Chain A
Amino acid sequence: MSQTLAPTPEPGAPQHDPDELEGRAADARSRRGAWIALPPAAYLVLLFALPLVIVLVYSFATRGTTGQTILSDWNLLSYRRLFDPLVREIALRSVGYALVTTGISLVLSYPFAYYIATRSPRVRNVLLVLVMVPFWSNFLVRTYAWRVLLSSSGPVSQLTELLGMGQTRLLFTTTAVVLGLVYGYMPFMILPLYAAIERIDLGLVEAARDLYASGTRAFWRVTWPLSRPGVIAGSILVFIPSLGAYVTPEILGGSKTTMLGSYIVRQFLSARDWPFGSALSFVVMALMLAATLIYFRTGGRTL
C-alpha cells in the first residue's frame, strides 16, 4: 500500500478552498453556542428593552388634571416643554457639573494611574485593590459621610476656623456636589487610564528621550497620545453617571444645585407628570448613547 503525505483528492470529490473551509467551521462553531445567550437575552429584553418602550410610549402621553396619565391622547407636548428656561438651566448645570467632574477626575487620576502602571506587578495589584476598596461600602453611606465632613461644624470647617479663615459653608453648594461626584466616580477614571498606560511600552519613552525629547515633550508626544483610549473611556465612564447623578446632588446639594436626575424624579413623584419625566429621561438617554457612539467611532477599544 502506498502512503502519501498530502491527501490526494478522490476523483469527482468536490475541491475545497482552505479559506472557505475555515469560514464554514467558524460558522458551525458560532451556531453551536447560540442557546447559551438565550437566557441573558431574554432577561435584557424583558427587564430593559420592554420598560424602555414603556417609557417611550409614556413620553407621548398627556398628564391628566389630577396627575393621572392619559394614554389615549398622544402628542409632543412633553418634548416641547424640554425647551423651558428652567429645564434648560438644569440641563446646562448638569452638563457643566459633569464636565467639571470629568476634568478634575482626569487631572487627579492620570498621575495616579501612571504611578500604578509603572510599579512592580505586586505593588500594582495592591494599589488597584485600594482603588476599588470604596466600592465595598454603600454609596449612600459614603455620601452621607461627606455631609458630616462638609457640615459647618465638621472637620473641614473646624480646620479653616482654626486657621483664622472663619467657618466654611461647603455643604449644599456646587463645590460640595462636584466634590461628591469626583469622589464617587474617580475609580471609573483611574481603571481605564491604568489599563491604557500599562499597555504602553516604556521603551517608546526611552526612544523619545534618545531622540532629543525632554521628559515633558516625550510625555506629550508619546505617552499622552498612546494613553488616549484610556482618557476617552475614563471620561465617558465619569461623564455619563455624573450627568445623571441623583444621590450626590440630592444629599450634598441644595435647591440651587438641582441636577437632571433629581428633576426627573420630581416629575414622577411630587409633580406626578409622568409623560414629561419620561420625555426628559428619554432625551438624556439618547444624548448619552450619542456620546458613547462618538467614543467608539473615534476608535476606543479599551472597554
Chain B
Amino acid sequence: MTDAAAVRLAGVSKRFDDVTAVDSVDLSIHDGEFFSLLGPSGCGKTTTLRMVAGLEFPTAGQVSIFGESMGLRPPNKRPVNTVFQSYALFPHMTVRDNVAFGLQMQRLDRDEIRDRVAQALALVQLTGREKRRPNQLSGGQQQRVALARALVNQPKVLLLDEPLGALDLKLRQAMQLELKDLQSRVGITFVYVTHDQEEALTMSDRIGVMDAGRLLQVGTPEEIYERPTSPMVAQFIGDTNLLTATVKGDGQIELAGGQIVAADIAATPGTETVLTLRPEHLQIVAPDDPISDGHNALDGTVTRRVYLGNAVSYDIVAGDVTLRVRARNAPGRRQYDVDEPVQVHWARDAAIAVQR
C-alpha cells in the first residue's frame, strides 16, 4: 500500500469560535515511531492529539489512521488509546478494574481479560497493587496505571498528552527512559505531546515543533536542534543567539553591528537573514589569544556572568551585537569577569540561517 503512515493529518484545522487552535497541519507519523509534538502551551499540540483520538473533530482537513479516514468516528471506534495529562483514572475503581475497563468494553471473555490485565500490570511493574484505588497510589504509580490501562488494549497508536508533567524531575527523567524503552519493546507507534524540549529530544525518533497552531518543522532531534528552519524553532529548542545579518556574497555576511564575518549561506547578496548561533558553539578567549583557522572572531566585553556548575554563561557585547556564550567548566579553564575585554569566536559552519 502507498499509505503506510500510522497517523496522517492532511490540512487539519480546528477553530473554536473565532480562535484557530490548529492551522492547516500536514503530518505523517510512521508506523512504530516515537513521535513528539513539541511546543509552548496553547500552541495546539493537545488539540491535534485530541483530534487523532476523536475527542475533537477537525473544522477542516482529514485525519487518517493506517490509511483509514476517521471522519467523525467517535473515540470508542478508533484503534488508538490515550494516556491523559492528569491520568483520568477512574477513582471509584481498583487498579485492576481501571486496566480491565477497555477490554470489558470490547466484551472480551473473562479469562482473556484477566490474563491481559496481569500482563499489562507486569509490564509497568505494578503487579501486587491490583486492589488499590488510584488515590492510594503515588503519582508515578498512577502514571503507570494510566499507561497500562491504555496499552492493555494493544492499540495501533498510543497517544500521550504530557504524561510526565505532574511528576518531579528525578522521577520524570527515569520515566522518560522507561517510556522510550517500553515503546521499543511493544513496537506501538507513540504520539507524545510535550512542552519540554529536553523530554522531546531524549525520547523521540522524530519531533514536530508547533507554535500558534502551525506545525513549523518536523525532523529528528538532531535535525531540529542543529538545523532549525525558523527563529521560533531555534529559540524554543535549547538556548540560542539570533542575529540579524545581510548577505554580502562570497561567503560573507554583515552583522547588525557592521562586522563582516564568514558564513555558509547560499543567498543572493543584499538579502536580510537571521542566523542562529548556539551558545555552546561559541568560544571565549582573551583579547590577544590566537583564533583557530577558519573561525570568525569578534572583540567584545563581558556584561554578565552566570555560574551554572558544569558551565559558565557569559553575555558579551560586541558593538551592537550581544552574544550569549556557554563555556564548559573544566579544571584550569580561565574564567572571565564582568567588564573584562574578550574575544568570541566560532567555526563558520556553526551559524545557521533560519530565515531568508
List residues of chain A with CB under 8 Å of any chain B CB.
Answer: 201, 203-204, 206-215, 217, 221-222, 225-226
Contacts and interface: CB of A to CB of B under 8 A. Distances in A.
A211 B74 contact: no
Chain A to chain B: the 9 pairs with minimum beta-carbon distance, closest first = A211-B102, A207-B88, A212-B105, A209-B75, A203-B88, A212-B76, A213-B105, A210-B82, A210-B75
B138 to A, nearest CB: 19
Given A203-B84, A203-B86, A206-B75, A211 B91 contact: no
A210 B75 CA distance: 5
Nearest to B78: A210
Interface of B: 53-55, 74-76, 80-82, 84, 86, 88-92, 101-102, 105-106, 149-150, 153
B88 A212 contact: no
Given A203-B84, A203-B86, A217-B105, A209 B92 contact: no
Which of A211, A215, A226: most chain B Cβ within 10 A? A211
Contacts of A211: 76, 81, 101-102, 105, 149-150, 153
A207 B90 contact: yes
Given A207-B84, A212-B102, 11 more contacts: A206-B55, A207-B88, A208-B90, A209-B54, A210-B55, A210-B80, A212-B105, A212-B106, A214-B74, A215-B74, A226-B91
Given A212-B106, A214-B76, A221-B101, A206 B88 contact: yes
Nearest to A214: B76
Contacts of A225: 92
Contacts of A208: 90, 101, 105
A158 B51 CA distance: 53
B90 A210 contact: no
Nearest to B53: A210
Contacts of B74: 209, 214-215
Which of B84, B106, B149: most chain A Cβ within 10 A? B84
Contacts of B53: 210
A210 B81 contact: yes
Given A203-B84, A203-B86, A217-B105, A210 B92 contact: no
7 contacts: A201-B88, A203-B86, A209-B55, A210-B76, A210-B80, A211-B153, A226-B91
Contacts of A213: 76, 101, 105
A221 B55 CA distance: 19
A212 B153 contact: yes
Nearest to B81: A210
Nearest to B85: A203
Contacts of A215: 74
Nearest to A212: B105
Given A208-B101, A213-B105, A226 B81 contact: no
B96 to A, nearest CB: 14
Nearest to A225: B92
A212 B102 CA distance: 6
Contacts of B84: 203, 206-207
Nearest to A203: B88
Nearest to A211: B102
Contacts of A214: 74, 76
B104 to A, nearest CB: 8
Contacts of B55: 206, 209-210
Contacts of B75: 206, 209-210
A249 to B, nearest CB: 39
Nearest to B86: A203
Which of A201, A207, A209, A214: most chain B Cβ within 10 A? A207
A9 B75 CA distance: 63
Contacts of A209: 54-55, 74-76
A6 to B, nearest CB: 25
Contacts of B81: 210-211
A207 B82 contact: yes
Contacts of A201: 86, 88
Contacts of A212: 76, 102, 105-106, 153
Nearest to B88: A207
A222 B98 CA distance: 11
Contacts of A207: 82, 84, 88-90
Which of A204, A208, A212, A215: most chain B Cβ within 10 A? A212
A225 B74 CA distance: 23
A201 B88 CA distance: 8
Which of B105, B106, B153: most chain A Cβ within 10 A? B105
Given A211-B101, A211-B149, A212-B105, A226 B76 contact: no
Nearest to A208: B101
B122 to A, nearest CB: 20
B247 to A, nearest CB: 51
Nearest to A215: B74
Nearest to A228: B92
A86 to B, nearest CB: 45
Nearest to A206: B55
B125 to A, nearest CB: 21
Contacts of B106: 212
A208 B84 CA distance: 11
A214 B105 CA distance: 8
A204 B76 contact: no
Contacts of B82: 207, 210
A209 B105 CA distance: 10
Contacts of B86: 201, 203
A222 B90 contact: yes
B304 to A, nearest CB: 32
B336 to A, nearest CB: 35
Contacts of B91: 204, 226
B92 A226 contact: yes
A215 B55 CA distance: 12
B143 to A, nearest CB: 14
A212 B74 CA distance: 9
